[in-house]
């Protein structure tokens, strides 16, 4: 699933092409993805000017005076800005036409994405209980330390709880925990304040580096310009179970934690 750096790369790629443009029409080639597509996409969005393209967690929002289109790319979705006459491929489910003769095209082979609507002045229920953004001033080691007290769950599960912090998915949790020297198995409540400060710093650094390199391409993700993300070349542990640790040379351990594949060094991470 595309994670925060991939979604931020998508947002940054789309924003210059969409911001300030007026929506002409919306073509829906199916009426539902993961959930039914909001009726406002066809009835309210056309005629509106896109004032901003924002990201919240792994969701994108196209803001207009009448409300916001809320998009999620699911497991394998992508968004591209294309000439309106570009051939339609299988799984090209939605075209949002803009006033310069192009369309924002949503491609979603597995149909796990969504296209919903957020009225002005409201917060969609999918966004209402989300934690802070990891690159915002609201997120730091002191915040993690305070919230983790009494938590017995593994720190990896704690960090992937979207009510704790948003967008730090499986790949980047593994990389940040390795950089901070913390085992993903350690109980969240058994980690001290200074280690959480180091971990929060590493989360920020790993995500920032991934955004600069366009995200991580593992299966389906490509950015809006069609290019792959290159952070996969920088991964220290994720996807490298059984290989030598880049620090100590000990074989990296791989196991399932919280039903997600996890890789860590039993020597460097404790």
29 assigned binding-site residue: no
Q: Is 2 a catalytic residue?
A: yes
Residue 251's Cβ-count burial label (10 Å; 0-12, 13-18, 19+) is: middle
What is the structure's pLDDT at 270?
Answer: 96
> Of these residues, 56, 58, 80, 105, which one is catalytic?
58
Residue 256 falls within a domain, yes or no? yes
Measuring CA to CA, which residue among 153, 183, 144, 172 is closest to residue 229? 172
- CB of 167 closer than 8 Å to CB of 133: yes
110 assigned binding-site residue: yes
HSE-up (13 A, CA, CB side) for residue 261: 9
Are 72 and 16 within one domain?
A: yes
HSE-up (13 A, CA, CB side) for residue 81: 18
Domain boundary among the residues 128, 162, 190 is at 128
Domain boundary among the residues 128, 155, 174 is at 128
Domain region containing 104: 4-128
Nearest-angstrom CA–CA distance, 22 and 27:
15
Q: Is 260 a catalytic residue?
A: yes
Q: Is 156 a catalytic residue?
A: no
Are 151 and 255 within one domain?
A: yes
Confidence of residue 226 (pLDDT cuts 50, 70, 90): low
Are 162 and 66 within one domain?
A: no
Note the pLDDT tens digit of each residue in 38-62.
999 999 999 999 999 999 999 999 9
CA 260 to chain centre: 16
State pTM to two decimals.
0.87
HSE-up (13 A, CA, CB side) for residue 15: 12
Q: Is 36 a catalytic residue?
A: no
Note the pLDDT tens digit of each residue in 136-182.
999 999 999 999 999 999 999 999 999 999 989 899 999 999 999 99
Note the pLDDT tens digit of each residue in 194-215.
999 999 999 999 999 888 876 4
């Amino acid at each position: 699933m595309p994670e925060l750096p991939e979604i931020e790369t998508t947002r940054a790629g789309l924003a210059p092409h969409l911001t300030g443009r007026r929506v002409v029409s919306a073509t829906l080639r199916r009426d539902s993805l993961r959930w039914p597509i909001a009726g406002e996409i066809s009835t309210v969005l056309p005629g509106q000017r896109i004032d901003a393209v924002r990201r919240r967690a792994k969701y994108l929002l196209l803001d207009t005076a009448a409300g916001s289109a809320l998009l999620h790319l699911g497991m394998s979705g992508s968004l591209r800005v294309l000439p309106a006459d570009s051939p339609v491929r299988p799984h090209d489910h939605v075209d949002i036409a803009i006033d310069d003769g192009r369309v924002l095209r949503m491609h979603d082979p597995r149909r796990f994405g969504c296209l919903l609507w957020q009225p002005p002045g409201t917060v969609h229920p999918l966004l209402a209980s989300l934690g802070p953004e990891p690159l915002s001033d609201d997120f730091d080691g002191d915040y993690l330390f305070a919230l983790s007290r009494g938590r017995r769950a593994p720190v990896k599960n704690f960090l992937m709880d979207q009510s704790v912090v948003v967008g730090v998915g499986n790949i980047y949790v593994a990389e940040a925990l390795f950089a901070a020297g913390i085992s993903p198995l350690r109980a969240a409540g058994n980690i001290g304040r200074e280690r959480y400060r180091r971990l929060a710093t590493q989360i920020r650094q790993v995500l920032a580096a991934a955004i600069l390199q366009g995200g991580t391409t593992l299966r389906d993700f490509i950015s809006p310009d069609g290019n792959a993300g290159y952070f996969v070349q920088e991964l220290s542990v994720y996807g490298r179970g059984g290989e030598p640790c880049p620090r100590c040379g000990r074989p990296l351990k791989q196991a399932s934690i919280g039903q997600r594949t996890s890789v860590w060094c039993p020597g460097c991470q404790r």
